[in-house]
Structure 1
Amino acid sequence: MYEAIQYENEDGVGVLTLERPQTKNAVDAVMRRELPQLMGALNTDRTLKVLIVTGAGGNFCSGGDLRAVRDSAGSEGSAEGRRQRILDGQATPGAFLNFDRPVIAVVEGVAYGAGCSLALTADMVLAARDARFCLSFGRIGAVPDYGAFYTLPRIVGLQRAKELVFSAREFGAAEARDLGIVMEVHEPGTVLDRAREIARSMAQASPLALSVSKRALNTSLHSDLPTMLMHEADGQGIAMSTDYHLTAVRRFLDKEPPLFSWPRRRD
């Protein structure tokens, strides 16, 4: 069904793979079109519980396809045409940020430019020890896109966001973890397995509780206390009325194994 991406769903855990290894999974015109198409389809697929995003060939994503930008002509080569190209691509970060189920990014190799921005849209980022991140836009006289102006300062703070954007410097997985971009760092070749382990665990959690929690946490970054307290009351009223909650409470009181538990790290 797709040319630039691949997708599979196994027992509620979806894996979306960027499939342009010859360009380190650069975002070309086809990928830019296919990503929001897939995410639109996944919105209505209730068999999917958790989505993992990764890249083929040992890299996450090297950013936008600069050859296509260089070779663009006609209306797309104008300022208005290139602005429209960016606007058309903005369906992708919005689709990930607003997706009502958890999204885990698995970063191996490079996450440069739009690839770094794409990783920032995930709810959790797991990285290989040799992963390399870079808001590289400034190296070519461009500005961050794919939602980075929104996500980056909310994750690392305003001053650090400015430093990463202005310098366009590369930083590794350990620093990305210190900055709050990466949740866990693992040996190369093991990151996807760890992501699947976490995803299988979360697939056993209450989908309604996860959805409400994700939406509320995202809202909290530009909201106030009264609004968030109302979100708590509304969400809890719904969550505690579900069969999942009632069953989980009964199992707890009867000292039975929980329906859901977080997998411990092995290192």
Structure 2
Amino acid sequence: MDVTDSAVLYETIGKTALITLNRPHKRNAFEAAINQALPAALMTARDDPGVRSIVLTGAGGTFCSGFDLGSLEEGEDGTFAGRKLVLGFHEWFAGLVDLQKPVIAAVDGAAVGAGFSLALAADFMFVTPRVRLLPTFLSLGLVPDLSMLYVLPRLVGLAKAKELIFCARAVDAQQALALGLAQVVVAPEQLLDSALQFARQFDDAPPDALGLAKTLLNRSFETDRQAMTQFEACAQSLCGASRYHAEAVRRFLGKEGLPYPGAKLPQP
């Protein structure tokens, strides 16, 4: 299935949905067309049982330059306009974070402000040597949004998150790798192929078990150990009764090899 919108391109490649922000003349900034098309593309990927993974990228050598400041509507009450705007984004952004399929952000060039937050919402980040992750909010007199205040400290620690946000400086590819924000750095001409090849390894992964694992991991920091133990036990009971598990056990005992041997990141 191929679904194309002028602002966001959607294509299925095997069992992977490739979603491309396609406003290069706006550096793929969040403006009205992308704000409408991106949630629709994510829902299409979520609801298609044939899609096992998602690769999210941007056209024209830029991932996403954040919110299009020139698209603010005049005449709104400025006191509440920002709140309305951010909460409007979260109506679909939470669905991306909680999407029960692996999401790989293939990031080339700049990921600025909310564009950086968008990349952080993925499970994996593949970057090129020319990537720049820019938490520029304070430079504009703003606080980070699209869950950066929640996600970044959990990825890099509170002190490092304060450093990145307070200093509002660019994070380059090697720094992103060292901080654990990115998994691999690849050449620009290999970025998309590397992300798709990695995504393809999830074709035979157990979708329900993977989805449950992602859901529980996303809540692990704010859930106490006893509660997580109960969630774990219930999830394991469901997975243990599945046909996928039964077939995996049969193949294991029969020395036929597991149906999902695991995924490997590309070598740098």
**Bucket of the pairwise TM-score, normalised by the shorter protein:** over 0.9
Partner AA of 1:56 in structure 2: A
Structure 2 CA distance for aligned equivalents of residues 161 and 116 of structure 1? 13
Q: CA deviation at 1:98?
A: 1.2
C-alpha contact 1:126 1:191 (8 A) present in aligned 2 = yes
Q: Label 1:218 to 1:264 Cα distance change in 2 as closer, same or farther (>3 A).
A: closer
Q: Give the unaligned 5+ runs of structure 2.
A: none
Instruction: Spell out, residue by residue over 1:195-250, the C-alpha distance to the aligned partner (whole angstroms, 9 max, x if none).
Output: 11111111210001100100111111111111111122111111122121121222
Alignment of structure 1 residues 57-72 onto 2, 5 Å: 57-69=60-72, 72=73
Q: CA deviation at 1:264?
A: 5.4
> Among 36, 39, 53, which residue is 1:36 paired with?
39
Determine the structure 2 residue equivalent to 1:162: 162
Instruction: Spell out, residue by residue over 1:53-92, the C-alpha distance to the aligned partner (whole angstroms, 9 max, x if none).
Output: 00011111111112223xx31116x221232122211223
Q: Does 2:58 align with 1:55?
A: yes
Q: What TM-score results when the alignment is normalised by the length of structure 2?
A: 0.93
Q: Report how many aligned residue pairs link the two structures.
A: 264
C-alpha contact 1:19 1:25 (8 A) present in aligned 2 = yes
Q: CA deviation at 1:34?
A: 2.2
Partner AA of 2:222 in structure 1: H
Instruction: Spell out, residue by residue over 1:164-210, the C-alpha distance to the aligned partner (whole angstroms, 9 max, x if none).
Output: 11111001011111111111111222121111111111121000110
Structure 2 CA distance for aligned equivalents of residues 200 and 42 of structure 1? 15
Q: CA deviation at 1:93?
A: 2.3
Q: Give the unaligned 5+ runs of structure 1.
A: none
After the TM superposition, which parts of structure 1 deviate over 4 Å for at least 4 consecutive aligned residues?
none
Q: What TM-score results when the alignment is normalised by the length of structure 1?
A: 0.93
**In structure 1, the residue corresponding to 2:205 is in which secondary structure?**
coil
Q: CA deviation at 1:147?
A: 1.6
Structure 1 CA distance for aligned equivalents of residues 237 and 197 of structure 2? 30
Tell me which moved more, 8-17 or 208-217: 8-17
Tell me which moved more, 29-38 or 100-109: 29-38
C-alpha contact 1:92 1:146 (8 A) present in aligned 2 = no
Determine the structure 1 residue equivalent to 2:75: 74
What RMSD, in angstroms, separates the aligned Cα atoms of the two structures?
1.6
> Between the two proteins, what is the percent identity of the paired residues?
37
Q: Label 1:264 to 1:126 Cα distance change in 2 as closer, same or farther (>3 A).
A: closer
> Among 41, 44, 48, which residue is 1:45 paired with?
48
Structure 1 CA distance for aligned equivalents of residues 53 and 43 of structure 2? 15
Structure 2 CA distance for aligned equivalents of residues 119 and 4 of structure 1? 18
Partner AA of 2:81 in structure 1: G
Structure 1 CA distance for aligned equivalents of residues 182 and 6 of structure 2? 29
Determine the structure 2 residue equivalent to 1:130: 130
Structure 2 CA distance for aligned equivalents of residues 227 and 191 of structure 1? 40
Structure 1 CA distance for aligned equivalents of residues 267 and 151 of structure 2? 30
Instruction: Spell out, residue by residue over 1:31-52, the C-alpha distance to the aligned partner (whole angstroms, 9 max, x if none).
Output: 1222223323333222211111
